[in-house]
């Protein structure tokens, strides 16, 4: 069974259904991109995998176990999680924030992992800088480093490239790709469909809490799905750098 597996997930928030029979999985070595319009349920699905949103039906499994059967500590050991919310309450230096991603290692080991993770996201120079003295994109990199500092091979990342400059967006996706290639399982929500197609093994398209398409990127993001789910008249253009989405709003 894939390390990240969700079947027939049902969940509600404020009396509204936010997951409606969702099936998603990410196997070993796989980077799966979760895409869909605003409000489609991407964050809800990721939160359900992390055990932070209770399912009314169906099941979410982390390495084979129902997430509900795991304690918060066990969940944190099994899966790294980057939430969409980028707030950092304490004005701690970046290195200490990133080290929080490996809370079950000794302080020294955690700091060593944190340093590597900061370098991986191009934020090594921020190691000693307080969170309150950073730009939004710099904070986003530090929080991503926190997720990458986790020794867990499973990673849930909710819009990890939001607010990052174009170079950093690709750098971050390369790091997530490398984590998957090293045998990890990565589920990442994205709004940039061209980047999703460039980096993901599979794309899962969510709309109204339902999976409306899933598969290799260009199959899942077919012209029909682009139109019905995203309201786009779109087509994929092959370039030397990979497929590029050419699109305009559907009339």
Ligand X SMILES: Nc1ncnc2c1ncn2[C@@H]1O[C@H](COP(=O)(O)OP(=O)(O)OP(=O)(O)O)[C@@H](O)[C@H]1O
Question: Does residue 176 bind ligand X (CB under 6 A)?
Answer: no
Please report how the helices 136-148 and 166-181 are oriented relative to each other, as an axis angle in degrees rounded to 10. Answer: 10
Question: Does residue 160 bind ligand X (CB under 6 A)?
Answer: no
| Cα radius of gyration (the chain) | 18
Of these, 18, 67, 110, 195, which contacts ligand X (CB under 6 A)? 18
Compare residues 42 and 179 and give the one whose CB is closer to ligand X. 42
In whole angstroms, give the CA distance from residue 189 to residue 128. 29
In whole angstroms, give the CA distance from residue 180 to residue 153. 8
Beta strands 30-35 and 57-62, pairing class: unpaired
Query: Count of residues binding ligand X (CB under 6 A)?
Result: 13
Q: Quick one: which segment of 31-39, 58-66, 68-76, 175-183 binds ligand X (CB under 6 A)?
A: 31-39
Compare residues 25 and 44 and give the one whose CB is closer to ligand X. 44
Question: Does residue 40 bind ligand X (CB under 6 A)?
Answer: yes
Question: Does residue 85 bind ligand X (CB under 6 A)?
Answer: no
Residue from 198, 170, 205, 176 nearest 188 by CA: 176
Question: Does residue 16 bind ligand X (CB under 6 A)?
Answer: yes
The arrangement of strands across the sheet holding 4-13 comes to: 16-26, 4-13, 57-62, 65-66
Question: Does residue 13 bind ligand X (CB under 6 A)?
Answer: yes
- Cα angle 158, 154, 17; round to 5: 45
Question: Does residue 38 bind ligand X (CB under 6 A)?
Answer: yes
Of these, 5, 31, 33, 44, which contacts ligand X (CB under 6 A)? 44
Q: Which residues bind ligand X (CB under 6 A)?
A: 13-14, 16, 18, 36, 38-44, 84
């Amino acid at each position: 069974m894939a390390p990240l597996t969700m079947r027939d997930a049902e969940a509600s928030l404020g009396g509204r259904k936010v997951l409606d029979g969702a099936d998603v999985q990410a196997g070993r070595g796989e980077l799966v991109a979760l895409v869909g319009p605003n409000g489609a349920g991407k964050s809800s699905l990721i939160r359900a995998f992390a055990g932070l949103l209770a399912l009314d039906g169906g099941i979410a499994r982390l390495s084979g176990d129902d997430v509900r059967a795991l304690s918060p500590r066990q969940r944190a050991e099994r899966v790294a999680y980057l939430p969409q919310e980028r707030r950092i309450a304490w004005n701690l230096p970046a290195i200490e924030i990133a080290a929080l991603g490996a809370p079950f290692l000794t302080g020294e080991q955690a700091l060593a992992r944190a340093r590597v993770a900061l370098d991986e996201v191009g934020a090594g120079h921020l190691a000693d800088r307080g969170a309150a003295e950073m730009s939004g994109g710099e904070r986003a990199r530090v929080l991503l480093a926190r997720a990458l500092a986790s020794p867990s091979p499973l990673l849930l990342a909710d819009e990890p490239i939001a607010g990052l400059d174009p170079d950093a967006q690709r750098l971050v996706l390369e790091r997530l790709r490398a984590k998957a290639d090293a045998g990890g399982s990565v589920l990442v929500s994205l709004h940039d469909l061209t980047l999703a197609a460039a980096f993901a093994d599979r794309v899962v398209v969510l709309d109204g809490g339902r999976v409306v398409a899933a598969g290799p990127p260009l199959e899942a993001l077919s012209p029909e799905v682009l139109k019905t789910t995203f309201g786009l008249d779109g087509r994929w253009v092959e370039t030397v750098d990979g497929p590029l989405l050419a699109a305009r709003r559907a009339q």
